[in-house]
Structure 1
């Protein structure tokens, strides 16, 4: 998965950083065969005399998680606060969990790697997430939608309210879902960029304020 240079028994993330190895191929070389199927790949060497096309990776599909870690916990948990955490009994149990469980240290190294290579983090209320991991991220790599859509002299708006207003989506119906929240924040960021390009950010926020007052910050039931 990580290439022949990486020792599978060692600490993969440290080795990958030292060797400048990515878990996503940076390019693919492909050719179309006579039966219209595609041949090639990231590691395949094709004959230079044959017609082929090289594709370079520029992005990966948004809202599709390539890291979805749950931190395993051996201590007894008295309250999962499931409504806000989205975690239920058994989710952190190595025997019964259907999630990818790992250690806090390994997840820290993954996020640290993404910071070091210059990734930009988009989320709603990122400070708490970074504080929990103990990571300091440069401000130019952080896009926090809680501040993008902040109304002057008003409390911060929830992701649930913004998703309803701008995306016409009802999220967090019963509890939080980290993938759903991340996808909504990414969509909101794109909307903000569109509003900024049109020069209508302030006018739009004024309309949001009218709805906040009318609904007392509550999302109408679907």
Structure 2
């Protein structure tokens, strides 16, 4: 408020020179870096003595409050079907020999590798007739194995941007594992939506007096876009 008053001339006395604002900034930085024990750590570093018992009890109380708050938050996440993601340290183990800079290099010449690449892209090309057949076969999406196969072989809108904006020198091992081995995300709300989807469609048809036709995946028929996939909801 002192800074606001200084600019708007709401006070006759400039109280910013007392240093209270700077002190609060320093305290916020120490609290962020050192946690609830920042009072004791700072006091010991400045005075070279053990902090007072009152200050130690205050820091212990703040530490316990933070631990209880994190425990309650973790419990709420588990009750709602969510799992808290924890950052794992990057280590080199036996499972990383297939990805990244530690993976085995291709055991074929570049010409043969390029030929295999063209063969895979050619296998993904479909005509308009095949496009309609795949669209009919993938209605219901996750309930049909064809939907999973076509989805794993092509890029969807959800990951298209991530792939296109990646630089040539950026490692792609994590992205490749994410695209090839997708994890099935589920939650209580998602399961409820799947169970009540047909009921919602029937009520929508009654309310709007119309018929809802199921749609699935539309694959691009052009040879340059055969690896792309568009999903309709």
- TM-score, reference length from structure 1: 0.27
**Structure with the greater alpha carbon radius of gyration:** 2
1 or 2, which has the higher helix percentage? 2
- TM-score, reference length from structure 2: 0.26
